[in-house]
């Protein structure tokens, strides 16, 4: 198992915004686990992790279960990655794990839950059910 960790922290007034992204090559799939807040200031770490996925990986699982905030910049990166990984006519290769109420609400309000394959746990995402 090969892993990489990207940590970003930015001062925003009196608080710090941070995002940690782990990339785990669990052949044949890749799991990207994010923790913290995904917004304009931190989304680069998620984008870099998704852009670094090798083309021959059959499934990419993005675990957002420990993400506490997700804004439109994060949704955009996920949607762009879904399109890139799926190609013109291929089956969806991006699976999302969404377990936190705040992030679940983002997918429900935007209607993007139906655009992605969304799962409650990483184990469900690996199995595809």
pLDDT averaged over 10-residue windows placed end to end, the chain, 129 residues: 47 64 86 95 95 89 97 96 82 90 95 93 90
Architecture of the domain delimited by 3-127 = 2-Layer Sandwich (3.30)
> In the prediction, which pLDDT does 108 show?
94
| pLDDT score of 17 | 63
Distance from CA of residue 12 to its chain's centroid? 23
d(CA 61, CA 120) in angstroms, rounded, equals 12
CA–CA gap between residue 2 and residue 72 (Å, rounded): 30
pLDDT for the residue numbered 1: 36
Enumerate the H helices of the chain as residue ranges.
43-51, 72-86, 101-110, 122-127
CA 83/CA 66 separation, integer angstroms: 24
Supply the pTM of this predicted model.
0.85
Q: Residue 86 has what pLDDT?
A: 85
Q: How far is CA 64 from CA 13, 19, 37, 57, 94, in A?
A: 25, 11, 10, 19, 13
pLDDT for 2: 44
Q: What confidence score (pLDDT) does residue 89 get?
A: 66
Which residues are paired to 36 by β-bridges? 19, 67
């Amino acid at each position: 198992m090969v892993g990489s960790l990207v940590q970003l922290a930015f001062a925003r007034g009196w608080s710090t915004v941070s995002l940690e992204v782990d990339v785990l090559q669990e052949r044949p799939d890749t799991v990207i686990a994010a923790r913290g807040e995904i917004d304009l200031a931190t989304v680069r770490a998620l984008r870099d992790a998704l852009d670094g996925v090798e083309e021959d990986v059959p499934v990419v699982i993005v675990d957002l279960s420990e993400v506490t905030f997700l804004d439109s910049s994060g949704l955009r990166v996920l949607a762009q990655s879904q399109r890139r990984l799926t190609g013109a006519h291929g089956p969806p290769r991006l699976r999302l794990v969404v377990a936190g109420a705040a992030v679940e609400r983002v997918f429900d309000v935007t209607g993007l839950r139906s655009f992605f394959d969304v799962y409650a746990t990483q184990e469900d995402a690996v199995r595809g059910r």
